[in-house]
């Protein structure tokens, strides 16, 4: 036991001296959280939109004024001329504009606000519908009521993004724990010196696993804490399942990194390959772009990527998405199974002294 604890301490010291690994594990998810948090936090939408209105003189605008007053999510600014309104939209003094000259409603948008314009167009459609009904002195035949099913913590896209970034951070840490870390130890002859001792390779492997699990778990907690305190994001975390899933996915990705370590001998090459795989999975796993928006071929590819299920599991355990309990346990078991199959391969074929 003392020998194993000594290995754990040695591995912890090696990790603390590896600044690149520490930056990857701790700083990378925080930078992404801060970047996307500030970007998404300033995005206009149905809950906060500024509309500029230009009404032609002599037109009957009573019905339109009543519609705008009833829209609690809109902040209305009046302009005397449509040209002044166009300039305000271009300068982003308002989010979008509305011109009423007595015949038709004309909505003005800034073409550079591609993502936000979708929300503004929805608001415009609602204004036009209410205005037509008021002009005809009729009421809607049916009332629509929105009911959220399942967990409701995911109030916006940023709430879904945070667990996805956590999943990608776990993926990166797991891959580099084997592919990058062990190949670097081989290059520096550290692994050879350790393996010629009476220590069994599985003990060194266990020390690496223990240290990486602890560091990755702490990293995810820090990232969650920053997102909750800085951006006021709410998560209903199921801590037992969250802890279990972080451990399972980290071990599974360490097993996956074994495949890289088997074919790559240089740490730089292993890092490049792990980065390429990670980036491809990041863009195809529904972290930044919804899988539903992808072509059918890419959706099929996404279903074959482990990061897709890691992001799904992280969203489930943080309370922002709903999946069945059976699906969660199956995914967790698969990641543990990957570790059980691939890590012994690592101990037998990768953690061996180099032949001279």
pLDDT at residue 272, rounded to an integer: 75
Whether the predicted pLDDT of 42 surpasses 50? no
Whether the predicted pLDDT of 218 surpasses 90? yes
Using alpha carbons only, give the angle 281, 287, 291 rounded to the nearest 5 degrees: 85
CA 211, 212, 217, 223 torsion: positive or negative?
A: positive
- Where does the pLDDT of residue 342 fall: very low under 50, low under 70, confident under 90, or very high at 90 and above? confident
Strand extents, DSSP E, the chain: 49-55, 74-79, 96-100, 105-108
278 compared with 317, residue with greater pLDDT: 317
Q: Which two tokens stand for residue 197?
A: 């001792």
Task: Average the pLDDT over each of 21-25, 199-203, 284-288, 293-297 and give the range with the smallest value.
Answer: 199-203
The answer to whether 171 and 307 have CB atoms below 8 angstroms apart is yes
- Where does the pLDDT of residue 349 fall: very low under 50, low under 70, confident under 90, or very high at 90 and above? low
The answer to whether 223 and 33 have CB atoms below 8 angstroms apart is yes
Distance CA 306, CA 308 (A): 5
78 compared with 178, residue with greater pLDDT: 78
Whether the predicted pLDDT of 168 surpasses 80? yes
- State the alpha helices, DSSP H only, in the chain: 2-17, 19-22, 28-41, 62-70, 82-90, 114-135, 157-178, 181-187, 190-195, 201-230, 239-263, 267-284, 296-302, 306-317, 325-345
The answer to whether 97 and 52 have CB atoms below 8 angstroms apart is yes
Whether the predicted pLDDT of 16 surpasses 90? no
- Where does the pLDDT of residue 195 fall: very low under 50, low under 70, confident under 90, or very high at 90 and above? low
pTM: 0.71
Q: Which two tokens stand for residue 342?
A: 């691939």
Distance CA 271, CA 287 (A): 22
Coil, strand or helix: which one is 3? helix
pLDDT at residue 148, rounded to an integer: 60
Q: What percent of the chain has pLDDT over 70?
A: 81
| Domains annotated on the chain, with CATH | 2-40+154-350 (no CATH), 49-135 (3.40.190.10)
Taking the CA of residue 112 as centre, how many other CA atoms within 13 Å lie in the half-sphere pointing to its CB? 4
Partners of 45 in beta bridges: 48
The answer to whether 61 and 55 have CB atoms below 8 angstroms apart is yes
Whether the predicted pLDDT of 309 surpasses 60? yes
The answer to whether 133 and 141 have CB atoms below 8 angstroms apart is no
Q: Read off the pLDDT of residues 235-292 as tens digits, 9 standing for 90 and up.
A: 889 999 999 999 999 999 988 877 777 777 666 676 677 778 888 898 899 888 888 8
Whether the predicted pLDDT of 316 surpasses 70? yes
**What's the mean pLDDT in 125-143?**
81
Whether the predicted pLDDT of 25 surpasses 50? yes
CA 163, 164, 167, 172 torsion: positive or negative?
A: negative
pLDDT at residue 44, rounded to an integer: 43
Q: Which helix (H) or strand (E) holds 160?
A: helix 157-178
107: phi then psi, degrees, rounded to nearest 5 = -100, 140
* Average pLDDT in the chain: 82
């Amino acid at each position: 036991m003392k020998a194993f604890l000594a290995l754990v301490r040695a591995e912890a010291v090696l990790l603390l001296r590896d600044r690149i690994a520490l930056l990857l594990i701790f700083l990378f998810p925080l930078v992404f959280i801060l970047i996307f948090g500030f970007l998404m936090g300033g995005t206009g939408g149905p809950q906060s939109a500024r509309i500029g209105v230009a009404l032609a003189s002599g037109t009957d605008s009573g019905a339109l004024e009543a519609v705008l007053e009833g829209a609690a999510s809109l902040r209305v600014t009046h302009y005397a001329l449509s040209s002044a309104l166009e300039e305000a939209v271009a300068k982003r003094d308002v989010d979008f504009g509305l011109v009423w000259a007595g015949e038709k409603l004309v909505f003005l948008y800034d073409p550079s606000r591609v993502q936000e314009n979708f929300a503004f167009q929805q608001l415009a459609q609602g204004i036009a519908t209410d205005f037509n009904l008021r002009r005809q002195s009729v009421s809607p035949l049916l009332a629509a009521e929105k009911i959220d099913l399942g967990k409701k913590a995911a109030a916006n896209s940023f709430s879904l993004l945070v667990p996805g970034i956590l999943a990608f951070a776990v993926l990166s840490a797991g891959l580099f724990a084997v592919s990058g870390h062990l190949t670097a130890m081989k290059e520096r002859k550290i692994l050879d010196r350790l393996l010629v001792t009476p220590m069994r390779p599985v003990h060194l492997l266990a020390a690496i696993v223990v240290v990486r699990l602890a560091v990755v778990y702490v990293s995810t907690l820090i990232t969650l804490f920053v997102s909750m305190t800085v951006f006021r994001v709410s998560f209903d975390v199921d801590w037992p399942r969250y802890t279990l899933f972080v451990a399972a996915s980290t071990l599974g990705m360490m097993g996956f990194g074994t495949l890289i370590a088997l074919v790559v001998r240089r740490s730089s090459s292993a890092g490049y390959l792990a980065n390429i795989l990670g980036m491809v999975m990041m863009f195809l796993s529904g972290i930044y772009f919804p899988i539903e928006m992808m072509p059918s071929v890419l959706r099929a590819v996404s279903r074959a990527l482990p990061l897709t299920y890691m992001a799904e599991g992280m969203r489930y355990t943080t309370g922002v998405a709903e999946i069945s309990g059976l699906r969660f346990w199956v995914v967790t078991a698969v990641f543990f199974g990957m570790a059980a199959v691939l890590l012994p391969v690592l101990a037998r074929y990768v953690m061996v002294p180099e032949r001279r």
